[in-house]
Structures are given as structure tokens and as C-alpha cells.
Structure 1
Amino acid sequence: MSITLSIHDGVALVTLNRPDAMNSIDPESNEKLLEAWDEVSRNEAIRVLVVTGAGDRSFCTGADLKKTMPPAESAASLLYGGGTRGLNFGSLQTQKPVIAAVNGYALGGGLELALVADIRICSDNAQFGLPEVRVGSIPGAGGTQRLVRAVGQSDAMWMLLTGERIDAAEALRIGLVSKVVPLAALRDTALALAGNMAANAPLAMTAVKGLAMSGRELSLAAGLELERQAFGLLRDTEDRLEGRRAFAEKRAPVFRGR
């Protein structure tokens, strides 16, 4: 399978499984990746998603140019006519927390896929880059929008306008990743983090993610008002009452998403 999905204790692990092709995305794996994302979004048993690549060389190097031909449809029909789902990681959306475990190269669309995640950790051999300007193109799957939000304007523009790669240490310095670990420890580190998060109240995590993402586009006053409304909605949920009972009884809470 070009994309694998496994679920354990509330954590979904999606693996790009084309190591011989540097985990690049061909039309088949693109469709499977979109299907896996849809499954994560609708499956109530899944609380956190981890996405990574197979092997020890590459997380993802973007589209497989050998197998990805230009679409037959016009740009207008794809944009306005609802054509086939293309290689566009900008369409990957879920309310649930997403962790990218970047093992090796994350280039072009691979970095754009990592930018979809809420948290990124990487192996010490990781490299990141958006080389599209060097071949007369642009990062068209969210790169021009998400990178500047993730690391700030100056560092983002450096990467976008030069097409140069950065290593794991530089990615950590500019805030592109939260943590750098040895390659052998990467998957276990990501899954442990996801497991800790999956034990949290799912409605609260969904609310926190939504508020944080929406707040970037709002004034502080509007964001605070949205937060106030969300707090009120969550106040009387079963999970919030369970959290308080568990604290009083000195035990681990059992959240049910209600």
C-alpha cells in the first residue's frame, strides 16, 4: 500500500509508504492520503493523527513528477468546476490535532504536507526546502501561506525566494519544528506525544485548535469573544465534569467526547 493507516488507543498513524520513491506522492497515493484524512476526521475513535514517512531517508519529496502529468482539465474548470482532487495538500483539513514526524527530506510538497500539521518534530537528519522558484513554479499547496504563519516573514521569505534547504538545527531555530530527536527515536517520540494528547478531552482539544487557528485571522477582541463563547459551550459538558471529578478523586479522567 502506498499509504498505510493504523489506529491504536485513539491515535491514528498515517505512513507514506513509497520509500524507494522517497515517499513522493503519485496519483494513487494522493487519493489514498485524502481518504485517510477523511477517515481520521469522521472516525470518533481517533483523537490524534501522526503522519510520517516510511524508511530513514525521506518524509516526503512532494509530487512524483514521473507519474504526475498535467491535468487534462483547464485551470478554470479545476478551480470553479469542482474537478478531480489534485495534488493539493491545502485541502487536507481536520479538527483533530495533527503531528508530523519528519524523517529525512521534506521538500516541496513534502514540506507543505508537514505544514498542515499542528506540531512538527523531526529527526536529526531532516532537511526542509521549497525549491519551486528554482524551476519556475511556486509552492502551490499551501506553502506560500502556511510557512510565513509558521516561522515569521523573514525566515519564510528566505526559504521561499531562495529555494535553499535548511537542516534540522536551523528548522528548530526558526520554529519550523518543536523538537529534534535521533532518527531511531522519532516515531516513538511522536507516538508518545500523540498518546499523551489522546488522553485529553477531545471536545476541548477540538475547541482549542479551532480557536487558535481562527484567532490568527481575527482582532484580539474578536478572538477573545470567540474564546468566551467556546468556554461557555464546554462548561457543562460531561467531559469537563469528569475532569473535575477525576482531579478530586486523584485518578486519571475517562473522557468520552460528550
Structure 2
Amino acid sequence: MAVDFSVEAHVATVVLNRPEAMNAIDPETQAGLAECWRRVREDDGIRVVLLTGAGDRAFSTGADLKKTMPPADSYASLAFGRGDAGFLDGMDVGKPVICAINGFALGGGLELALACDIRIAADTARFGFPEVRVGSIPGGGGTQRLPRTVGRSDAMLLLLTGDVIDSAEALRLGIVSRVVPAADLLREAQAVAGRIAANAPLAVRAVKHLVGYGEGLPVGTAVAAERLVWGVLRDTEDRIEGRLAFQEKRRPVFKGR
């Protein structure tokens, strides 16, 4: 299968599984990702997603240029007719997504990583947007998410040159939160996922919602929304359980209610 999916201890692991093609995204991979996001969205038992690539060479090198030539239909007929489904469609599952970047993250692969909430990279990982070198542009949010992540000047440098950077530079720019030895990558990402999954799921989802919702708002408006969400969570079973567990010096048992 182009994408593997498994669930353990409230953590869904999604693996791009085309190592022979550097985990490039072809139509089958795109369909597989969409199905994974649907399962994550509909399964309340899943609290966190861990996304990575098979093998040790690449997370994903983006679109498979051998299988994604322009379709016969005009773009207008797709955009305003059947719809222009992209490889990020359905990814907004409302639950934290951690990306373990195990090698090259180029083009659409880097866009996929930037759409995740937390990025952890192997020390062997490499990052770049080479689209301008083949007469195209990042079309999956790269021109928008990268400047918001690293700032305009550094983003323009990467986007306009098509240069590839190493994991140390990606860490300096803030593209990733952490760099670890390649052999430790999956274990480190799983540990982070486990710590998040152990927290109150409604609170975790609320935090993700507020961070995304507030990014484009004035601070005062965003803080008002934060206060409202705090009030919504105030009387939940999990919030009461958290306080009882603290008083009783035990681990809380959260149920997402």
C-alpha cells in the first residue's frame, strides 16, 4: 500500500510507503492520505497522529512528476466543477499531527510537513522548495506557510533559489522543533506523541483550535476567544478529573468528555 495506517495507545501512525520512489506523492498516495485523515477525524479513540516516511532516505520528495502530469481537464472545470482535490485535503482533523522527518522533505513533502503541528527531524534530513527550478511554484501552501514559519526574507531565499538546506539550518530557522540522530527519530516522535495523548483530549484539541484560529486575529480578539473556550471546558468531566487526580496524587484517567 502507498500509505500505511495503524493505531496504538491513542496514537495513529501514518507512513508514506513508497521508499523506492523517495515517498513521492502519486494519486494512490494522495487517496491513501485522504482515507487516513478520514479515519482519524471519525475515531474519537485517536488523540494524536504521527506522520513519517518509510525508509531512511526521504520523508517525501513531493509530487511524483512521472505520475502527475497536467490532466486533460482545464483547471477551471476542476476548481468549479468536480473540485480540485489537493494532497493536503482532509488534513485538518482537529487533532495534533506530529511529523517525523526522516530524510529529504522537498516540494510537496515540505508542504506536508509544514501543515503539521510539530516537526521533529533526523540529523540526516534535508529541506527545500525546488519548484522554481522546474517552472512551477509550491502549490500546497508553501508560499504561505513558510513565511509564517521562518519570516519573509528567509522564506524568499529558499523559495526563489530552490536551495536545499540541512537539518541544522532548518532548526535555526524554526522549520523544525528538534533534531535528533536518525536512529532515534521514531522513538523521539513516539515519546512526544505519547505525552500529548496522555493529556485531556478536549483540552489538547482546544489548544490546537485556538492557536490556528488566533493566528490571523488581533491579540485582543484572540484572547477573548481563548477565554470563551476556557469557559466551555470549565465544567467538563476531564477538567474535574484532572483536579481530583492532582489532589489524590494519581494519574488522571481522561475520557474526552
Query: TM-score if structure 2 supplies the norm length?
Result: 0.97
The within-5 A match list for 1:69-88 is 69-83=69-83, 85-86=85-86, 88=87
Displacement of 1:158 after TM fit? Answer: 1.1
Percent identity of the aligned residues?
Answer: 61
Shift of residue 91 of structure 1? Answer: 5.1
User: Equivalences for 1:104-123 in 2 at 5 Å?
Assistant: 104-123=103-122
Partner SS, residue 82 of structure 2: coil
> Could you list the per-position Cα deviations for residues 13-34 of structure 1 after superposition, in whole angstroms to 9, with x for gaps in the alignment?
0000000000001111110111
Aligned pairs for 1:1-258 within 5 A: 1-83=1-83, 85-86=85-86, 88-89=87-88, 92-258=91-257
Question: 1:127-171: per-residue Cα shift (whole Å, max 9, x none)?
Answer: 000011111111001101111111222211111111101100000
Query: What displacement does 1:81 show?
Result: 1.8
In the TM superposition, structure 1's runs of 4+ consecutive aligned residues that sit over 2 Å from their partners are 82-86, 88-92
Tell me, yes or no, if the aligned pair for 2:38 and 2:90 is still in contact at 8 Å.
no
In structure 2, the gaps of 5 or more residues are none
Q: Please give the alpha-carbon distance, in whole angstroms, between the structure 2 residues aligned to 1:89 and 1:18.
A: 18
Q: CA 1:117–1:58 in 2, change beyond 3 Å: closer, same or farther?
A: same
Contact preservation (8 Å) 1:48, 1:194: yes
Shift of 1:84: 5.6
Distance 1:93 1:161 in 2: 28
Distance 1:250 1:206 in 2: 25
Contact kept? 2:150, 2:174, Cα under 8 Å: yes
The residue type equivalent to 1:145 in the other structure is Q
Could you say what secondary structure the match of 1:218 adopts?
coil
C-alpha contact 1:89 1:142 (8 A) present in aligned 2: no
State the distance in 1 between where 2:84 and 2:211 align: 31
In structure 1, the gaps of 5 or more residues are: none
Q: Distance in 2 between matches of 1:220 and 1:85?
A: 33
Contact 1:89-1:109 at 8 Å conserved across structures: no
Deviation per residue, 1:93-115 (Å, 9 max, x gap) = 11100000000100000000001
Judged with a 3 Å threshold, the aligned counterparts in structure 2 of structure 1 residues 91 and 9 are, in CA distance, closer, same or farther, namely closer
Q: Within 2, Cα distance between the matches of 1:156 and 1:8?
A: 37
Partner Cα separation in structure 2 for residue 124 and residue 33 of structure 1 = 26
Alignment partners' CA distance in 2, 1:170 and 1:186 = 18
CA distance in 2, matches of 1:38, 1:150: 27
Spell out, residue by residue over 1:71-97, the C-alpha distance to the aligned partner (whole angstroms, 9 max, x if none).
Answer: 2321112222233624x3265211100
Output the amino acid matched with 1:140.
G
Give the aligned residue type for 1:229: L
Residues 206-249 of structure 1: per-residue CA shift (max 9 Å, x gap): 11011011111101111011001000000000000000000001
TM-score by length of 1: 0.97
Task: Report the residue type matching 2:73 in the other structure.
Answer: E
